[in-house]
Amino acid sequence: MAVIIELKQVSFAAQQKTIVQDLSYQFEEGKTTALAGPSGGGKSTVLKLSAGLLVPSRGKVCFRGQDVSLMNREQNLAFRREGAVVFQDSALWANQNLDQILELPLRIHFPSMTKPERNHRIREVLAEVGYKKELEIRPAQLSMGEQKLIAFARAMLCRPRLLFLDEWTESLDDTAAHRLITLVKRMQEAGHTIIFVTHNLNLIMSLADYMLVIRGGTLSLRLTKAEMNSDEDLIRSIEQEINL
């Protein structure tokens, strides 16, 4: 088993409140892992820790065996290029237009790319996610669903091998959600690693190789796809819990 992200006895606290406590897990490369559990249980925090967006209060987060907190600038850029995040609230820059938002990752990670090359890549990903409006507007002029499409497109720009998704189908209509799910399935088939947070059990059952149930900031349960498919009573109880 090749490990791409490892959490080693990771804890995280904010405002004197412990959110994640002594959590250890190895995410397998090329597999899809869903993070489930009750609201406020720490799922999104575990995702952000795994993506290197939060620094643990204790413990280590390692990418391919290397402590993320000890990476130099070059190593950190390589990690950011290989791993992309779609945030629950989309996290689009309010003071930039969509074209500027989408250009930024390409400018950072591919500085030699020309303007026409950047425009071509942006058009490619927008076609994939199904966004058809103009780009000379700011995020506030978009619906929440449209913002999510732009956030997903931004994550796809650098062709990441590792994708972190937080409630990524939320605010989308069925057609848009199906399009993004199809893109994720295509990435799975290509051997990409995907870690996602969702309250949608059907999505977990459809996509996940593993489901981790996070309760009270700890890993309380790990299920394989086979185990998810074989214990209907357990799955029903988890579904009730994650929709509280």
| 200 located within any domain | yes
The verdict on residue 201 lying in a domain is yes
30 within some domain: yes
Range of the domain at 64: 3-90+160-242
What pLDDT, on the 0 to 100 scale, is given for residue 240? 81
> Does some domain include residue 152?
no
CA distance 239 to 194: 21
DSSP letters along the chain, please?
Answer: --EEEEEEEEEEEETTEEEEEEEEEEEETT-EEEEE-STTSSHHHHHHHHTTSS--SEEEEEETTEEGGG--HHHHHHHHHHEEEE-TT----TTS-HHHHHHHHHHHH-TT--HHHHHHHHHHHHHHHT--S-SSS-GGGS-HHHHHHHHHHHHHTT--SEEEEESTTTT--HHHHHHHHHHHHHHHHTT-EEEEE-S-HHHHHHH-SEEEEEETTEEEEEEEHHHHHH-HHHHHHHHHHHT-
State the Cα–Cα distance between residues 26 and 9, nearest whole angstrom.
11
Q: What are phi and psi of 46, to 5 degrees?
A: -60, -40
- Looking at the 3D structure of the chain, how many domains does it have? 1
Within a domain: 109: no
Residue 78's domain is classified under what CATH number?
3.40.50.300
pLDDT of residue 217: 94
User: What pLDDT, on a 0 to 100 scale, did the predictor assign at position 244?
Assistant: 55
- Rounded Cα gap, residues 121 and 125, in angstroms: 6
**Amino acid 94: pLDDT:** 95
In a domain, 117, yes or no: no
Report if residue 178 sits inside a domain: yes
Could you tell me if residue 214 is inside a domain? yes
Write out residues in the chain with pLDDT < 50, as ranges.
none
